[in-house]
Structure 1
Amino acid sequence: MVRNIRFNNVHTHTAQDISDYKPIFHSKEMGRVIVNKVRDNPSYKPNVIYSDLESEFSVNMTYKQAWRAKERANQIIERCPKDSYILVPWLCQRISEAIPGTFTSWECTDDMRFKRVFVAYGCSIRGFNNYCRPILSIDDCHLSGNYKGTMLGATGYDANHGLWPLAYGIVSSENDDDWHWFLNLLKHILDGRSVTILTDRHPSLKKCVRDILALNTTHGVFGII
C-alpha cells in the first residue's frame, strides 16, 4: 500500500508560546551543572538550588528534584558510595594504628566484594574489661539506604548506669553464620571475662550465644538481669 504524505510548512506557534516555553531537565543533568557550586559550598541547600536554576535557566524544578541534583553533584565530587568499600582494609589498618589495642576484622567474597566487618576500639575494650559491669546487651539494627545490610552491636553498662559501646559489625543479615562470626570475635576481645548476655532471644542469636559464649556467660532478656 502506498501512502502520500504532504508536508505543510506552516508554523502555528505564536511568539507568546515560545516565550512561555520552559525547558525541563533531569536531576542528573542538573547535578553536572551545579557541581562546581556544590564543591565550593557543601552546604548549598536544595531550596536555594532550585531557585537559582529557575532564575538562571528557566528550569521548572521541585525541592525533591533539587535535592537529587545535589546528591548527583556530590557523587561526581566524592565518587559513588560503593567505591568506598575498597577502602575497608585500609580503614581497619589505620584505626588499629591510630588507637592502640583496637581489634578489627573484615571479610570479602570470592569475587572480592565486601562481605562483613567487625570493629572494637582499644579504649572501649579496656574500659569494659576493667571498669564496666559484666553485662552485655547484644542486638541488631537493620540498615536503610542503597546497600541495606545489618549492624550487629554489643553494648555494656558503666558504673553510672550509662551505655558503653564495646563493638559493632556490619553484615549482610541477621543469620546463624553472621552471628556466629560476630560472637566469635566478641569472645576474643572479652579475654575470658564472665559476662551476662542480654538479648531479644532471636533464634539465631540465642543458638550462637549458647554455642560460643556458653562457657563464660549467662543469658537473659532485655530489661531483666
Structure 2
Amino acid sequence: MEVLVQAAETSSANMQIAVSVQAETVAELTDSDFSDSDFSIDEGDDDLFDEYIDFGVDEEEQEEIDDEPEYVLEDEDLDLSREEEENLKYKFSAFNAKVDMDSPIFRVGMVFADVKQLRQALNAYSIKNRVEIRKIKNEKTILEAMCKPGCPWLLKAGLDNRTRGFVIKVYAAVHKCQKAWELKALTSNFLTKFFIDEFRDDQKMGLGTFSRKVTNELHITVNRWKLARARKQALKIIHGDEDEQFSKLWDYGQELGTCNPGSTFLVSTHVVTNEQYPMGRKCLKLVYWSYDACKRGWLQGYMPIIFADGCHMKTKYKGVLLTAVGIDPNDCIFPLAVGWVEVECTSAWEWFLTTLRDDLNIINTSPFTVMSDKQKGLINAVIKVWPDAEHRFCVRHIYQNFHEKHKG
C-alpha cells in the first residue's frame, strides 16, 4: 500500500514539472509586442461581451442555412413559416417589367402581375430568341404556350392564391427548332415601345437607320411599311396628338385665368373654305398669353430691356412662336409673353408688340431698349410700335449672318 502511495506522489510531481516546463515554453514563444490592448476586454467589462454576443445563434445551424441549394426559396411576400417554406419545391420571384422585359428569362415560380404582362413577356421572348410561340390556352386564369411541333419547349401558368399573381407552374426551356425570320409577335406596337427612347434621342431618324437598329438589336428583318407605322406611332407618343392639343386651347385659357388671375390669354380665328369644308371652318390665326405673376415680378424689379425673337415650329401645323423675355436683377432670363402666328411678318410682329405694350401698361417707351435679330418685319414693327425705344441687335445673330456671307 505504501508503495502505491509513493508511486502516485511521484507521478503527480512529474506532471507538475511537465506543466511548468510547458508554460515556460509558451512564455518564451509569446511576443508581447504583437498584443493589441484595444481589442482586449478589461476587468469589469464583461457587460460588453453580454451586450454584443448573440447566444441564440447556432453556428452549425447557420452554416446549414447558408449551404441551402438555390431552388429552396424564401419569398418575403408569402409570410410563410420555416416549415412551410421547406415544403415548397421552388421559391417565387417577381417579374420586373422595366428590367426583364427586354430579354425575358422564365423559370418555375416566377410571378407576373397579371396575364397581360405574361403575354407581353412571351412576345418579347419570342422576338428576342427568334422562335414562334403559340398560345394553346389563353384565358384570364390559365395560359399554356408551346413552340413548333416537335420542339419540347413548354410553358404553363395560372393564378396563384398565395401570391395573388400569375405564376409559372410548368416550364421546359429547351428548344430544338430552327430560328425564324418572320414572327407574328413582331408588330409595329412592339417596335414602338422597344425603340421609343431611340426616337426621343433622334426624332429625325430615317427608316434605313431604324431598320439597321432593329437588325442589330433583335437580329431580325422587318418590312418598310411596319417600320414606318412604328416610327409614326413613336413620334405621336413623343409629340402627342396635335389635333387634341389645339382643341384644348380654350380649356387652357380658362384654367390659366382660374389658377393665375390677371393673366392674359387671347385667341383669334378666321374662317377657311376648301373642298373638304365648303361651308367654311374656323382655323387658328393668332394666340397670345402672358402670366400675371411674371408681369408683376418684372414690373417691380425689371431692367428696362426686352428681347424679342421668333422660332419656326416644325410640327404638323407649322407656324411661328414669338417670345418676349426680360432680365431680372440676377441677370437671368425672365419670361414676359408668348405668341403664335401663322407667318413671321411685319403685321404679325406689330400685333404681338402692340399687345405686349398694352398688356404691360407701358405708355412712354423711351426708357426701354429692344434687342432682336435683323428680321425685316421685326425691325419695321419696333420702329412703329416702340418709336422712342432704343433698338439694338444681337451680336450672335450678327456674327452668324456675317459668317454666312463672308466665309473664312
> Structures share a fold, TM > 0.5?
yes
| Offset of residue 137 of structure 1 | 0.7
Q: Aligned to 2:266, which of 85, 99, 105?
A: 105
Q: Does the 8 Å CA contact 1:120/1:166 hold for their aligned counterparts? A: yes
User: What residue is the counterpart of 2:384 in the other structure?
Assistant: 211
Question: 1:41-52 residue pairs with structure 2 within 5 A?
Answer: 45=197
Residue 22, structure 1, aligned to residue 182, structure 2: yes
| Offset of residue 65 of structure 1 | 2.8
Distance 2:241 2:382 in 1: 37
Q: Does the 8 Å CA contact 2:373/2:394 hold for their aligned counterparts? A: yes
Per-residue CA deviations over 1:157-210 (Å, capped at 9, x if unaligned) read 111111111111111121122112111110112212642111223211111112
Distance 1:176 1:83 in 2: 30
Residue 119, structure 1, aligned to residue 292, structure 2: no
Residue 196, structure 1, aligned to residue 196, structure 2: no
Q: Aligned to 1:81, which of 227, 242, 248?
A: 242
Note the aligned Cα RMSD (angstroms): 3.9
Relative distance call for 1:79 and 1:212 in structure 2 (3 A) is: closer
Q: Secondary structure at the match of 1:112?
A: strand
User: What residue is the counterpart of 1:65 in the other structure?
Assistant: 227
Relative distance call for 1:213 and 1:46 in structure 2 (3 A) is: closer
Q: Secondary structure at the match of 1:147?
A: coil
Distance 1:199 1:21 in 2: 57
Structure ranking higher on relative contact order (CA contacts 8 Å, 6+ apart)? 1
Worse overlay, 126-135 or 81-90: 81-90
User: What residue is the counterpart of 2:90 in the other structure?
Assistant: none
Amino acid at match of 1:143: M
Moved over 6 A (4+): none
Residue 158, structure 1, aligned to residue 335, structure 2: no
Residue 220, structure 1, aligned to residue 392, structure 2: yes
Q: Secondary structure at the match of 1:214?
A: coil
| Offset of residue 59 of structure 1 | 6.9
| Offset of residue 102 of structure 1 | 0.8
Query: Could you say which structure has the larger radius of gyration?
Result: 2
| Offset of residue 116 of structure 1 | 2.2
User: What residue is the counterpart of 2:153 in the other structure?
Assistant: none
Q: Does the 8 Å CA contact 1:23/1:60 hold for their aligned counterparts? A: no
Amino acid at match of 1:101: G
Amino acid at match of 2:375: H
Amino acid at match of 1:201: K
Distance 1:97 1:109 in 2: 27
Per-residue CA deviations over 1:41-94 (Å, capped at 9, x if unaligned) read 9x96569xx69xx79xx87379x938x527527859x98322321211221121
Q: Secondary structure at the match of 2:321?
A: strand
Relative distance call for 1:199 and 1:21 in structure 2 (3 A) is: closer
Residue 95, structure 1, aligned to residue 256, structure 2: yes
Q: Percent identity?
A: 23
Relative distance call for 1:162 and 1:20 in structure 2 (3 A) is: closer
Amino acid at match of 1:221: F
Q: List runs of 5+ in structure 2 lacking aligned partners.
A: 1-178, 200-213, 272-280, 397-408
Amino acid at match of 2:390: T
Q: Secondary structure at the match of 1:178?
A: helix
| Offset of residue 24 of structure 1 | 8.6
Q: Does the 8 Å CA contact 1:198/1:220 hold for their aligned counterparts? A: yes
Distance 1:21 1:154 in 2: 55
User: What residue is the counterpart of 2:354 in the other structure?
Assistant: 184
Relative distance call for 1:222 and 1:20 in structure 2 (3 A) is: closer
Q: Does the 8 Å CA contact 1:92/1:104 hold for their aligned counterparts? A: yes
Per-residue CA deviations over 1:200-223 (Å, capped at 9, x if unaligned) read 2321111111212225x2222225
Q: List runs of 5+ in structure 1 lacking aligned partners.
A: 1-18
Q: Secondary structure at the match of 2:248?
A: helix
Q: Does the 8 Å CA contact 1:24/1:59 hold for their aligned counterparts? A: no
Q: State the TM-score, normalized to the length of structure 1.
A: 0.68
